[in-house]
Structure 1
Amino acid sequence: MQSLELEIKELIISALSLEDVAPGDIEAAAPLFGEGLGLDSIDALELGLALQKRYGVALPADSQETRQHFASVEALARFVATQGTQARGEA
């Protein structure tokens, strides 16, 4: 799971053009929005598209579950890992 978390951190940095942020600067359990990384709703849309392209996951914008998945890098990694397993029929 740690390698997936690292991939997601790198994806966040590249998709959102966070020039002064390194993967090590992002705590896996820290909030992505508000206090933690400080992302906003536009960042969420861009990150959602990047996750969709990279991992083929669907993240409906108006879903409460989507908000929970975007809570932290850990939450996103769990979601992506679960979706990948379901897509391969292993769930």
Structure 2
Amino acid sequence: MADAALKQQLKNIISKATGGAVPADKIADNVGLMDLGVDSMAALEVVMELETQFGVSITDMEAGKEAFTSINSLANFVEANRS
């Protein structure tokens, strides 16, 4: 289970990637990220931030789809793939 600090970092990244359209404090851990308005451009920005901040790359489309299911799944993906 991912810790709260990691989840908060991810929420901040998502909020920034959506241009602030989704405030970080309004993102629930289990809500679908695509339901929050994370489009392909925002997702690309999130992927780049994951690489920069955590050294985590999403190179497989299926893994990416699964990771972007929710904050919980994204946090679990980051924890499992950190360098």
Query: TM class by shorter-chain length?
Result: 0.7 to 0.9
Structure-2 separation of matches of 1:52 and 1:15: 14
TM-score of the two chains, using structure 1 as the length reference = 0.78
Q: Which residue of 1 aligns with 2:78?
A: 80
Q: Which residue of 2 aligns with 1:44?
A: 43
Q: Which has the higher contact order (CA 8 A, sep 6+)?
A: 2
**C-alpha RMSD over aligned residues:** 1.5
TM-score of the two chains, using structure 2 as the length reference = 0.85
Question: 1:1-91 residue pairs with structure 2 within 5 A?
Answer: 1-18=3-20, 20-33=21-34, 36-60=35-59, 63-84=61-82, 87=83
Q: Deviations over 1:15-51 (max 9, x none)?
A: 4421x53322001100001xx2121111111111111
Specify which structure has the higher proportion of helix. 2
Paired-residue identity, %: 30
Q: Deviations over 1:37-71 (max 9, x none)?
A: 121111111111111111110112x5211110011
Unpaired segments ≥5 residues, structure 2:
none
Aligned residues: 81
Structure-2 separation of matches of 1:67 and 1:57: 15
Larger of the two Rg values belongs to structure: 1
**1:15·1:50 contact (CA, 8 Å) conserved in 2?**
no
